[in-house]
Amino acid sequence: GENVEQHPSTLSVQEGDSAVIKCTYSDSASNYFPWYKQELGKRPQLIIDIRSNVGEKKDQRIAVTLNKTAKHFSLHITETQPEDSAVYFCADLNQGGSQGNLIFGKGTKLSVKP
């Protein structure tokens, strides 16, 4: 079945530095790639997503890039702040396929040190 691998599992950066989290997927039919942020004790919150017909998307300090040929996508956070500390999950979806559910990576715990 579909598999999403996420790296690294933990990431520690200094405030103001950039953070990059990478995911690879196996289903070439996947066409939707969201990123969720989950703070301790809270629900996963969608922070950015990208569809397979787009190579890059930005929203202020957050960007996502997609390489369909290599089957990987990445989350980039610039000018990190302490409030960016959380667990980040990537996921993919084969929208329109027989399995329309999100497949998640294992998560990356990001710590931003002031």
Which residues of the shown chain bind other proteins in the complex (CB under 8 A)? 32, 34, 36, 42-46, 49, 51, 89, 91, 93, 95-96, 98-107
Identity of residue 84: D
Query: Using alpha carbons only, how large is the chain's radius of gyration in Å?
Result: 14
CB of 85 to other proteins, least distance (A): 18
CB of 34 to other proteins, least distance (A): 7
* Complex with other proteins: residue 2 or 111, whichever CB lies closer: 2
Calpha distance 61→58 (Å, rounded): 8
CB of 36 to other proteins, least distance (A): 8
* Complex with other proteins: residue 18 or 99, whichever CB lies closer: 99
CB of 89 to other proteins, least distance (A): 6
For residue 15, give the 3-state DSSP assignment: coil
Distance of CA 91 to the CA centre of its chain: 7
* Complex with other proteins: residue 6 or 80, whichever CB lies closer: 6
* Complex with other proteins: residue 52 or 74, whichever CB lies closer: 52
Q: What are phi and psi of 22, to 5 degrees?
A: -120, 145
Identity of residue 106: K
